[in-house]
Amino acid sequence: MSRIGKQPIHIPSGVAVALADGVYTITGPKGTLTVPAFAGVVHQITENVLQLSLADAERKAFYGLQRALLANAVQGVSAGWSRDLELHGVGMRAAVAGTSLNLSLGFSHPVVVEAPQGITFTVTKNVITVAGIDKQLVGETSASIRKLRKPEPYKGKGIRYAGEQVRRKAGKAGKAGK
């Protein structure tokens, strides 16, 4: 049995979970998310606690995944998800213009990133915050921004996640023969 699948999901006040036509619909103060319902996984809601169980013991492949997706959706519509990115390097700047993010990353041109539906950008100093209710979309957007200028190992310049450690390499050794 899945250890993750057994764990209960606590539903905060103001969040509603409904199952219709093989799709869970989670509605909360920040919005609405849908999660596909996998065959063989049954739910039960009692006193604001969602508990999942298996209908058929042999169909346990998606048991933990179903619980994780539902828990992420419940947290997303109640509190939301966010990811911080840090800019490291001289001349690297970020600014928000409407729904797009304008980046100056040391290229000969500015880089403009359009926010997908449901994602908001905020910038304070050299920290970009990507926020939204869908955990997967927040992660994908953060990864695509980081990919624009990955941190390089010699000077550490680039875009990195908050708290990410970049392994530094030694530079040239120089001429030892002189």
Instruction: Indicate whether 60 and 118 sit together in one domain.
Output: no
- How far is Cα 75 from Cα 10, in angstroms, rounded to an integer? 10
Instruction: Indicate whether 70 and 142 sit together in one domain.
Output: no
Contact partners, residue 173, CB within 8 Å, separation at least 6: none
Rounded to the nearest 10 degrees, the angle between the axes of helix 135-148 and helix 63-78 is 80
Question: Is 44 domain-assigned?
Answer: yes
Q: Give residue 56's pLDDT band: very low, low, confident or very high (50, 70, 90).
A: confident
pTM for the whole thing? 0.88
Say which DSSP state 126 is in.
Answer: T
Q: What is the CATH number of the domain that holds 119?
A: 3.90.930.12
Amino acid present at 18: A
Give all strands of the β-sheet with 23-28 in edge-to-edge order.
16-20, 23-28, 31-36
Nearest by Cα to 5 from 49, 51, 38: 51
Question: Is 48 domain-assigned?
Answer: yes
- Per the structure, the count of domains in the chain is 2
Q: What is the pLDDT of residues 112-143, one digit of tens each?
A: 999 999 999 999 999 999 999 999 999 999 99
Domain with 12 in it = 3-78
Instruction: Indicate whether 70 and 88 sit together in one domain.
Output: no
Largest CA distance in the chain: 79
Q: Give residue 2's pLDDT band: very low, low, confident or very high (50, 70, 90).
A: low
Question: Is 166 domain-assigned?
Answer: no
